[in-house]
Amino acid sequence: MKASPHLPQLLRRSVLALALSAGLALGATASAYETVMDTDERVIFKIEGDFDHYFEMVEEAISAEGLVINNVGFIANMLDRTAGQESGEGIYLDGRSVDFCSATYSRATMEADPHNMVFCPYIITVYELTDEPGVVYMGYTPVPEVGDKESKESLRAVNELVERIIKEALAF
């Protein structure tokens, strides 16, 4: 019998689902996160914890949706490498972006309006400020819900997907 090519994705989803279910069954509460900003331009959450843990949870939550990460941007490292002598201490202890896309969601947005291609890929940032060690921020730029009804609905679904991924990551 030939193994399914989707087996690793299914296993990750199962592990995440089991972990969440086990935590809820044992009476554990989800991590306490806070919404710091929720505007048309930025949605940002914060939680206390370990940066690497929460970045990994974002990667896992993306995979659990059956999606593939296109790129990880090491933004804080880039700033540290290019800092001038007078800039002093770095802004971030760590800060990365992860970009990904969904053929299903993207196709829906682009079939509704081919110009919606400008909204792909979807990007989530995860960062820890130098001034706030142990506080992890996660955020994204919502895609504007523009165009006709079908376009707006498909773009709204993209925003819901990205926010769902972040909230799944924050739950661990």
Higher-confidence residue of 21 and 90: namely: 90
d(CA 20, CA 130): 31
Which domain does 108 fall in, by range? 7-170
Residue with tokens 């930025």: 42
Q: pLDDT per residue over 138-170, tens digit each?
A: 999 999 999 999 999 999 999 999 999 999 999
Q: Is 2 domain-assigned?
A: no
Q: Can you give the pTM of this predicted structure?
A: 0.81
Q: Is 162 domain-assigned?
A: yes
Q: Is 143 domain-assigned?
A: yes
d(CA 69, CA 120): 12
Segment 56-61 shows an average pLDDT of: 98
Total number of domains in the chain:
1
Q: Is 1 domain-assigned?
A: no
Q: Is 163 domain-assigned?
A: yes
Q: Is 95 domain-assigned?
A: yes
Give pLDDT, residue 23: 40
Segment 102-120 shows an average pLDDT of: 97
Q: Is 88 domain-assigned?
A: yes
- 44 neighbors 139 (Cβ within 8 angstroms): yes
Q: Is 155 domain-assigned?
A: yes
Give pLDDT, residue 172: 87
Q: Show the DSSP H helices in the chain as ranges.
A: 7-25, 51-64, 75-82, 103-112, 149-170
What is the domain-level CATH number for residue 13? 3.30.310.70
- 93 neighbors 76 (Cβ within 8 angstroms): yes
